[in-house]
């Protein structure tokens, strides 16, 4: 009798979402299982970082990553898996990156080149450094005032859960070198756009205005940048001189590609749900956070939704190529598929730490669906936001279609400690937080993929936010 009562008591505690024996688990049960024990996302990010490693856009390494991802998706049972090629202008970093203060406090600084910047001549260039605390200070410098000089640009980026300081500090990298070059600078160095205090520079893309010839540009590690700033304070008006040697180069047009795959829905005539990430990384790290984890999360979510039964709508994965050097894959995908309507788009490209907020751009036009999603993810510790979702960098097609978007906001407190640095490695991923991402994505994607009605948008959908223009 005691054993019978114990069995009945245990049954009463079982989740109501658990499926009967022989039936597919419910979506809720599958999401809960992902939270407890998902291995699919880890399998992806561990595999691609181990077997491929760094995946610079347009190179042989990125091509190996695409081939690896194609085979992985096929092995997991996804349909219509393909590598869709496109051509791109390809920049590579070279193998020389040196910076040395030559006076009055001679010492070496740690530097990395910025994407799309030019090389110095062999042996390097040397010049007086002009210190700008902000990009706005640089903008205010008189025309021609930097002729023959090297611009140094600082900022005051701080960690934030929503990563908002990236939008504040990012222009130092995104546009600083171009502004300095337009005023006559022979080169630019910046304080890395990041929040760590390791001696690891944060690379990333920069840009030059039309008609302005690219110049050498590099990022100093935060400790080195702050050391340089202390030198200005101690120099007593004496000029600080710097020797810089970088040898990046442009390869011209090379091939990249977007990896795609699907879980085919019961009604393929309905517009699909599009899940995006990017498969490339910078050359200086295996890209576990940026964005191996993101690709693992969205693929795992597709896998778990499929395990709960064939969805009504097709779910499509887009592992975009060449995001870091200019959103090449996102633009190519939109150009190739613009006439194919997308129901709603979501992207994972902010690391692997927990999701804390849900936003959509249809909160006003489809409040019932917005509320249903918000209620479904509350059990994972996710709050309902009121901001209009703008979508990730690789969702150009959805913005171009003025379509529905969802942002599953991840905790970015430590993201910019790792972003674009050699520290972006597998050991930084917390598998418990990774699984929370997969659980939330499984729940949200499952709801969307089984939504019978259209998902209208009312909030204007902007072009890719400025934060995405030069990742």
DSSP E strand boundaries for 229-347: 241-246, 249-263, 273-278, 315-320, 344-347
Tell me: domain 16-91+252-468, CATH 3.40.630.10, correct? yes
Chain segment 161-220, per-residue pLDDT in tens: 999 999 999 999 999 999 999 999 999 999 999 999 999 999 999 999 999 999 999 999
Q: How confident is the model at residue 97 (pLDDT cuts 50, 70, 90)?
A: very high
Per the CB < 8 A criterion, the answer to whether 172 and 194 are in contact is: no
Give the predicted TM-score (pTM) of the model: 0.93
Those residues with Cβ within 8 angstroms of residue 172's Cβ, 6 or more apart along the chain or in another chain: 134, 135, 153, 154, 155, 190, 191, 193
- pLDDT of 266 over the 90 cut: yes
Per the CB < 8 A criterion, the answer to whether 322 and 280 are in contact is: yes
CA–CA distance, 361 with 387 (Å, rounded to integer): 8
Q: Quick one: pLDDT at residue 13? A: 35
Exposed, middle or buried by CB within 10 Å (0-12, 13-18, 19+), for 213? Answer: exposed
| Axis-axis angle for helices 367-377, 431-449 (nearest 10) | 150
- pLDDT of 3 over the 60 cut: no
- pLDDT of 10 over the 90 cut: no
CA–CA distance, 371 with 368 (Å, rounded to integer): 5
**Architecture of the domain whose range is 94-247:** 3-Layer(bba) Sandwich (3.50)
* The two structure tokens encoding residue 123: 């042996």
Q: Which of 374, 355, 360, 381 is nearest to 455 (CA)?
A: 360
Q: Quick one: pLDDT at residue 14? A: 38
Residue 206: its H or E element: none
Report CA torsion sign: 270, 276, 280, 286: negative
Instruction: State the chain's mean pLDDT as an integer.
Output: 93
Q: How confident is the model at residue 7 (pLDDT cuts 50, 70, 90)?
A: very low
Those residues with Cβ within 8 angstroms of residue 133's Cβ, 6 or more apart along the chain or in another chain: 154, 155
Q: Quick one: pLDDT at residue 463? A: 60
Residue 15: φ, ψ to 5°: -60, 135
- What are residue 218's DSSP bridge partners? 113, 189
Average pLDDT on 285-298 reads 98
Those residues with Cβ within 8 angstroms of residue 223's Cβ, 6 or more apart along the chain or in another chain: 197, 198, 199
Domain boundary assignment for the chain: 16-91+252-468, 94-247
CA–CA distance, 356 with 411 (Å, rounded to integer): 6
Average pLDDT on 347-365 reads 97
Q: How confident is the model at residue 22 (pLDDT cuts 50, 70, 90)?
A: low
Q: Quick one: pLDDT at residue 21? A: 53
Q: Quick one: pLDDT at residue 8? A: 34
Average pLDDT on 399-417 reads 97
Q: Which of 254, 261, 259 is nearest to 84 (CA)?
A: 259
3-state SS class at 239: coil
Q: Quick one: pLDDT at residue 292? A: 98
3-state SS class at 397: helix
| Axis-axis angle for helices 431-449, 40-51 (nearest 10) | 120
- pLDDT of 464 over the 90 cut: no
Q: What percent of the chain has pLDDT over 70?
A: 93
CA–CA distance, 410 with 418 (Å, rounded to integer): 15
């Amino acid at each position: 009798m005691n054993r019978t009562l114990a069995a009945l008591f245990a049954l009463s505690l079982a989740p109501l979402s658990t499926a009967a024996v022989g039936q597919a688990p419910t979506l809720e049960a599958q999401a809960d299982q992902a939270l407890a024990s998902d291995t699919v996302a880890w399998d992806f990010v561990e595999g691609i970082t181990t077997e491929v490693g760094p995946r610079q856009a347009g190179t042989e390494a990125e091509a190996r990553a695409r081939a690896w991802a194609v085979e992985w998706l096929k092995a997991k049972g996804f349909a219509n898996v393909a590598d869709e090629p496109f051509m791109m202008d390809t920049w590579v970093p070279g193998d020389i990156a040196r910076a040395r203060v030559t006076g009055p406090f001679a010492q070496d600084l740690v530097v990395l080149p910025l994407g799309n910047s030019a090389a110095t001549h062999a042996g390097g260039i040397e010049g007086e450094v002009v210190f700008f605390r902000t990009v706005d200070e640089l903008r205010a410098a008189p025309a021609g005032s930097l002729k023959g000089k090297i611009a140094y640009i600082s900022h005051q980026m701080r960690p934030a859960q929503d990563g908002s300081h990236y939008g504040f500090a990012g222009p130092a990298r995104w546009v600083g070198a171009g502004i300095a070059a337009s005023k006559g600078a022979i080169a630019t160095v910046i304080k890395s756009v990041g929040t760590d205090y390791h001696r690891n520079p944060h690379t990333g893309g920069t840009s030059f205005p039309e008609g302005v010839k690219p110049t050498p540009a590099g990022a100093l590690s935060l400790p080195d940048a702050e050391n340089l700033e202390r030198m200005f304070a101690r120099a007593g008006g004496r000029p600080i001189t710097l020797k810089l040697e970088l040898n990046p180069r442009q390869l011209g047009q090379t091939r990249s590609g977007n990896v795609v795959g699907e879980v085919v829905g019961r009604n393929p005539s309905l517009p699909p749900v599009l899940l995006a990430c990017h498969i490339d990384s910078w050359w200086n790290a295996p890209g576990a956070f940026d964005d191996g984890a993101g690709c693992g999360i969205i693929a795992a979510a597709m896998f778990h939704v499929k395990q709960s039964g064939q969805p009504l709508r097709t779910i499509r994965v887009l592992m975009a190529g060449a995001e870091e050097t200019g959103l090449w894959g996102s633009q190519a995908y939109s150009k190739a598929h613009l006439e194919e309507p997308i129901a709603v788009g979501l992207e994972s490209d902010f690391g692997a730490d927990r999701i804390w907020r849900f936003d959509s751009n249809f909160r006003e036009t489809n409040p019932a669906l917005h509320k249903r999603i918000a209620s479904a993810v509350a059990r994972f510790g996710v709050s309902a936001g009121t901001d209009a979702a703008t979508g990730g960098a690789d969702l150009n097609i959805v913005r171009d279609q003025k379509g529905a978007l969802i942002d599953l906001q991840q905790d970015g407190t430590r993201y910019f400690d790792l972003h674009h640095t050699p520290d972006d490695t597998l050991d930084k991923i917390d598998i418990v937080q990774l699984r929370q991402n997969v659980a939330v994505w499984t729940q949200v994607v499952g709801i969307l993929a089984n939504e019978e009605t259209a998902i209208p948008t009312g909030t204007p959908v902007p072009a890719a936010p400025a934060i995405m223009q030069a990742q």
